[in-house]
């Protein structure tokens, strides 16, 4: 068994996970960003002990602790290089955790961890290589090669959301322009929809948002597109075109066995999947050859705990 910790800006979710990637017990506690990191790590450990107790196991039954962080880790040293949302920089996370739990501690980026979870216990199980796109407020990426998570030689890789898609395009929060995140995130859908309703205020998007453009979210746009609102259909078409191009760029470079769509936007389900699948062939370099399968993630929010836990399994 493994302990998995999903450290988010709002909650710390902790679970006890089986060798097969099933959650045996789980709990969570608020992160309360702003506290000293020692207090946050102590809460992780308290949660870990709680799930072990619930499952009636001891530290001896647990092989390792894995922690998924919303930032960049130094896996060798077991440190958090930084987590912008938590205000963390250079935190000795492994050493701090080992004060409570005398176990190997593995740390990796949360999007990478979600990709790992899918590749062991989700849709990409049995794929030796896969890339997961986490389509949320931003766009995260998780790369699995030969069954192991790949974050790069310096830990700065798998940042799918910040690959350039439109050279000189929309300004990104990262300082660059034209990043995939500016075109394939929920934030991008909202931006496109706001622009669209400015031209077509009678769109169902605006009605569904109670007449307030600031209340438009990705789900509203998707729902309006599903219902056939022409403005929403246009936004959806534009969005899926960008997403198909982004997926193709990863295919053209890495050609993994499978590409997995996760995150809030992927809750649009088959509607999104079918639209993107229909566009992918136009982008393929070798149209007659097999190419990566595109699928929806399966594990939802549990991917964070499961993937973090399985970092220990992937490392050995």
Interface residues with its own copies (CB under 8 A)? 72, 81, 127-129, 141, 143, 145-146, 150-160, 162-169, 174, 176, 178, 183, 242, 245-246, 248-257, 282-286, 289-292
**Shortest approach of its own copies to residue 43 CB, angstroms?**
27
Instruction: Name the DSSP letter for residue 164.
Output: B
Q: Which is nearer to its own copies, 102 or 168 (CB)?
A: 168
Please state whether beta strands 130-135 and 258-262 pair in parallel, antiparallel, or not at all (unpaired). parallel
- Compute the distance between CA of residue 201 and CA of residue 194 in angstroms, rounded to an integer: 10
Nearer to its own copies, 223 or 255 (CB): 255
Nearest to 155 by CA among 97, 76, 41, 66: 76
**Closest CB 145 distance from its own copies, rounded Å:** 6
As measured in angstroms, the least distance from the Cβ of 288 to its own copies is 8
Closest to its own copies by CB, 14 vs 160, is 160
How far apart are CB 45 and its own copies at their closest, in Å? 28
Closer of 152 and 210 to its own copies (Cβ): 152
Which residues neighbour 39 within 8 Å (Cβ) at sequence distance 6 or greater? 32
DSSP 53: H
CB of 64: closest distance to its own copies in angstroms? 22
- Residue appearing with tokens 């450990």: 45
How near is the Cβ of 188 to its own copies at its closest, in Å? 12
| Nearer residue to its own copies within complex by CB, 254 or 315 | 254
CB 94 within 8 Å of CB 74: no
Query: Are 102 and 59 spatial neighbours (Cβ–Cβ below 8 Å)?
Result: yes
Distances (CA, A) of 247 to 43, 266, 271: 38, 14, 17
2 vs 133 by CB, closer to its own copies? 133
Q: Is 280 helix (H, G, I), strand (E, B) or coil?
A: helix
User: Minimal CA–CA distance to 161: which of 57, 297, 291, 265?
Assistant: 265
Cα torsion 205, 211, 213, 217 to 10°: value is -50
Tell me the closest approach of the beta carbon of residue 118 to its own copies, in angstroms: 16
Cross-strand bridge partners of residue 91: 80
Q: Which two tokens stand for residue 245?
A: 């191009």
Nearest approach, Cβ of residue 66 and its own copies (Å): 21
Cβ contacts of residue 289 below 8 Å, gap of 6+?
Answer: none
* β-bridge mates for residue 12, sequence order: 7, 29
């Amino acid at each position: 068994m493994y302990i998995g910790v999903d450290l988010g800006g709002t909650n710390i979710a902790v679970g006890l996970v089986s060798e097969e990637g099933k959650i045996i017990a789980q709990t969570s506690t608020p992160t309360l960003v702003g506290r000293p990191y020692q207090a946050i790590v102590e809460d992780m450990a308290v949660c870990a002990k709680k799930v072990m107790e619930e499952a009636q196991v001891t530290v001896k039954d647990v092989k390792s602790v894995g922690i998924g962080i919303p930032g960049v880790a130094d896996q060798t040293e077991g440190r958090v290089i930084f987590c912008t949302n938590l205000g963390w920089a250079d935190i000795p996370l492994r050493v701090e955790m080992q004060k409570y739990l005398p176990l190997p501690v593995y740390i990796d980026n949360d999007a990478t961890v979600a990709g790992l979870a899918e590749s062991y216990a989700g849709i990409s199980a049995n794929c030796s290589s896969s890339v997961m796109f986490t389509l949320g407020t931003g766009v995260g990426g998780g790369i699995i090669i030969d069954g192991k998570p790949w974050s790069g030689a310096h830990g700065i890789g798998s940042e799918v959301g910040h690959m350039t898609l439109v050279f000189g395009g929309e300004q990104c929060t990262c300082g660059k322009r034209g990043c995939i995140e500016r075109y394939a995130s929920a934030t991008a859908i909202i931006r496109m929809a706001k622009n669209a309703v400015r031209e077509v205020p009678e769109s169902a998007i605006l009605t569904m948002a109670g007449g307030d453009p600031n209340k438009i979210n990705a789900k509203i746009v998707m729902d309006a597109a599903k219902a056939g609102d022409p403005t929403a259909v246009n936004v959806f078409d534009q969005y899926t075109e960008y997403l198909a191009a982004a997926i193709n760029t990863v295919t053209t470079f890495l050609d993994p066995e499978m590409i997995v769509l996760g995150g809030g936007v992927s809750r649009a389900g088959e509607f999104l999947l079918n639209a993107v699948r229909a566009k992918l062939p136009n982008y393929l370099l070798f149209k007659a050859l097999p190419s990566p399968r595109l699928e929806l993630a399966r594990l939802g929010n549990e991917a964070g705990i499961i993937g973090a836990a399985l970092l220990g399994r992937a490392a050995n």
